[in-house]
Amino acid sequence: MLLTTKTTILTNFWVHHSQRDVSVGRENGVLFFNPSSRICILSAGVNKSCTINCGSLSLKRTINHRILDRNVEICGFCEVGNLKNAMELLSLSENIDLDSRTYCTMLQLCAELKSLRDGQRVHSFVRSKGVEIDSILGVKLVFMYVSCGDLEAGRRVFDKVANEKVFLWNLMINEYAKICNFQESIFLFQKMQELGVEVNSHTFSCVLKCFGAVGRVVEGERAHGYLLKMGFGSYNTVVNSLISFYFKCGRIGSAGKLFDELTDRDVITWNSMISGYIANGFNEKGIEVFIEMLGFGIEVDLVTAVSVLAACANIGSLSLTKALHAYGTKARFDSKMKFTNTLLDVYSKCGDMDSAICVFENMGERSVVSWTSMIAGYAREGTSAEAICLFRDMKEEGARSCLDFVSISERHNWEGEDEKVPSTRHLRCCTTPKQY
């Protein structure tokens, strides 16, 4: 890496380093250095000396207040991920007009490091300097706020700078969908169309999920026709979203037709079909699609395995469960809690408590779902003593994660002198998919 011209002309400089091998040379006042050293070279004016400490980039400078380019100084720190020093230089730049690109670079790093506080400071500095927030800077501000988890602040900036950049609209639509505010995502999609913002395949992929989540069939079908006219009908991401949309709306035939017409199917396409059938109660059909998927040589992933295991639990297929268990162990799915918790649920529902115990004892980490699946299994089998013993172990080992469950159990007097075990209904009420 080489910083040239005015940013690297030094009358005098010293480079000090500790515990690093830094390649530095000087030729006609120009400083060359090794990019692997992660050194940031500061711009220097006349009569300026600097000490650069590798890695930490701690600086000592004697300056006659003649800074050639503060923009490059700040961006140099950002390039090596040193946000702290970049922010320190920003605080010393009240009387210096920085480029918009410098603010963009800082905001990008704030977003990458999830540093909301520093991002807010940059935004405040921009406002105090009266800098015009153009489309590029606006996008960086929105991206920073959204990346740092402040969607509300991001929306305020978005409303002021919303433009024809489809990326920015897609970002907001997707972020609202993540927090299940599907109506707002749909509103933004409709606003895009009103303003004539050109949508792309990513826009449709996201908004179709929103239409499906709230059951807006007509709007989804209208979007389907629109995307076909735009030539997105062959895009896998779009077709996969369409399949999921139709399944969520109970349009099983429409989903199946799309699947049959698609020649280039990826694992997400197959997973959408399998999970869609199972979610609508067609467990056997979901398993049939799974077997067909294997016939095409498609590799089973974690999503596939968990979906098919759910069908096994619904129909009591112990043989397929064991086959998936063996495959999952080989594929190292057994390190994923979602997979092992689903296995526990299937084995306990199928009455194979020996296999359930084996899975349970080999789990590296257990959630409240792991415990309740085991206890519910013992409750179904009528083995109260084992259930009560496991229930007590659960409180001792994971009381914090099981706090709500324990408080419910105590209210219902499940552990009284009569040694009654929690009922299956109560146990299952304490288990939700979000806890996997």
Q: How far is CA 345 from the centre of its chain?
A: 26
Distance (Å, whole) CA 431 – CA 408: 12
> Per DSSP, what are the bridge partners of residue 59?
52
pLDDT in tens, 155-198: 999 999 877 789 999 999 999 999 999 999 999 999 999 999 99
Per-residue pLDDT tens listing for the chain (436 residues):
334 333 333 333 333 333 333 333 333 333 333 333 334 444 443 333 344 443 444 444 434 333 448 999 999 999 999 999 999 999 999 888 899 999 999 999 999 999 999 999 999 999 999 998 988 999 999 999 999 999 999 999 999 987 778 999 999 999 999 999 999 999 999 999 999 999 999 999 999 999 999 999 999 999 999 999 999 988 999 999 999 999 999 999 999 999 999 989 999 999 999 999 999 999 999 999 999 999 999 999 999 999 999 999 999 999 999 999 999 999 999 899 999 999 999 999 999 999 999 999 999 888 888 888 888 888 888 877 888 888 888 877 764 444 444 434 444 444 443 444 455 445 444 444 443 3
Contact between 42 and 59 under an 8 Å Cβ cutoff? The reply is yes
Cα dihedral angle (423, 426, 432, 436), rounded to 10 degrees? -40
Q: Give me the residue spans of the domains in the chain.
A: 1-68, 80-161, 162-264, 293-365, 366-436
**Could you give the angle at the alpha carbon of 354 between the alpha carbons of 358 and 284, nearest 5°?**
95
User: How, if at all, do strands 24-27 and 59-62 pair?
Assistant: unpaired
Specify the CATH architecture of the domain 162-264. Answer: Alpha Horseshoe (1.25)
